[in-house]
Structure 1
């Protein structure tokens, strides 16, 4: 979490408009169906996390931006 907090701090200080979302029990490549679903693998597809992430991205892009 130290690395995550450092990235958030850096983004805030740079004035970036961003959102950080953390999905539990989700591995790298969670949005790639070709990664497979073996939970012991390093790369694992998670249909539920992928769907949640797509919704979060769409919501973020719909939000009005301040200029």
Structure 2
């Protein structure tokens, strides 16, 4: 936890949601299409492997 990270959100989930909302706002302001989808992968904790193997993630990626 650093001051810079905390300013972006209390944890990785908060920071990810904030990034999504900011990107959506920038796209709207500039008239760009916004084709991102925000997914929540339950019970993966702090695991990159858990995230990449989560059913919601593999379905969204077409695996």
| Rg larger in structure | 1
> TM-score normalised by the shorter chain: which range applies?
0.3 to 0.5
TM-score by length of 2: 0.42
TM-score by length of 1: 0.41
